[in-house]
Amino acid sequence: MSIRKLVVALCASATLLSGTAKAAPLTLEQITALAQSGVGDEAVVAKIKSTGTHMDLSVEQMLELKKKGLTGPILAALLDSPATAPTAQQFSLTSPDPAVLHPAGVYLLDAGKGHMVRIDPTTTNQAKTGGIFGYALTGGLASASIKASIQNASARVHAAERTPTFYFFFDESNPQVGNAPSSWASGTAATVTSPSEFTLIKLITKDGRREARVGSMNIAGAKTGVMDKDRVAFDYQMVRPGVYKIQPKAELAPGEYGFLFSLNGMGNGGALSARIFDFSI
């Protein structure tokens, strides 16, 4: 082996063994040097995969590389190895750029500070009824309401603007990462793919908690779902696959709000399974 090839092989081997070296796709010269150095097929294949090295080799190139000592497993790794998937370090929780990878979830854009704030979902922990006395007293002429109750009097995330901007990052925004951190990983959120599956609602603050009206009933019948007067209209547009920009259609009055999942079943059962991405103005 020439001195030049030995140096290349030693450098490549050092990179292979180093846990701190920055992984970069290999060149054909480096791969050939590794194969000829005797480090073994398993080590060369592992290095190809860890660096995401991929080459669309022609038949002629494969035959030539075979003559230079590249074995079948090494050639197969070169042809099959996908591009390296993003690592956890490549995700951002605060970047204001929606083109940057973010763990799936709901984010508020804080334009004043130039970053995004991730909103963790709040699960409703109680379902209750209101107006029962009036309902009973009037023989059902007055309505009784069903409410989903959320702990704490105010959300942890505060929007400084009256027309805040939000970004929804769905799992589709990170197609290369099958196990990326996600806010959609449990409950009724498992298959959420669009902002159209959410309702923006105005929450009622009462006795140190917040409530959302999710049903009503009177002598004429019963209704389930968020009450019309509690709904807040919003627009959304796709920024890139799996990423949407959301804004209310009008300025929001000071108070408590939240993006609520479309509830199935509603009533007490639906209220208890609701997940709300809450914020305050």
Q: Compute the average pLDDT of residues 6-12.
A: 46
Q: What's 27's DSSP letter?
A: P
Tell me, what DSSP letter sits at residue 73? H
Convert the pLDDT of each residue in 194-248 to its tens digit: 898 898 999 988 888 888 777 665 555 555 567 778 889 999 999 988 899 999 9
Q: Are 174 and 242 in contact (CB under 8 A)?
A: yes
**How far apart (Å, rounded) are the C-alpha atoms in residues 146 and 130?**
6
pLDDT above 60 for 258: yes
Burial 88-116 (b: 16+ CB within 10 A, else e): eeebeeeebebeebbbbbbbbbbeeeeeb
Q: What is the pLDDT of residues 82-134, one digit of tens each?
A: 555 555 557 888 999 998 888 888 999 998 899 999 998 887 656 665 555 45
pLDDT, position 254: 95
Confidence category of residue 143, pLDDT binned at 50, 70, 90: low
Indicate if the pLDDT at residue 149 is higher than 50. yes
> In the predicted model, is pLDDT for residue 164 greater than 90?
yes
CA separation for the pair 206, 216 (Å, rounded):
18
pLDDT at 184: 58
**pLDDT per position as a tens digit, 37-91:** 888 888 888 888 888 788 888 888 889 899 989 998 898 888 875 555 555 557 8
Highest mean predicted confidence (pLDDT) among 78-87, 184-193, 230-239, 260-269: 230-239
pLDDT for 182 equals: 53
268 torsion bin: left (phi>0), alpha (psi -120 to 50), beta (else): alpha
> Of residues 172 and 39, which shows the higher confidence score?
39
DSSP β-bridge partners for residue 39? none
Task: Give the whole-angstrom CA distance, residue 51 versus residue 61.
Answer: 21
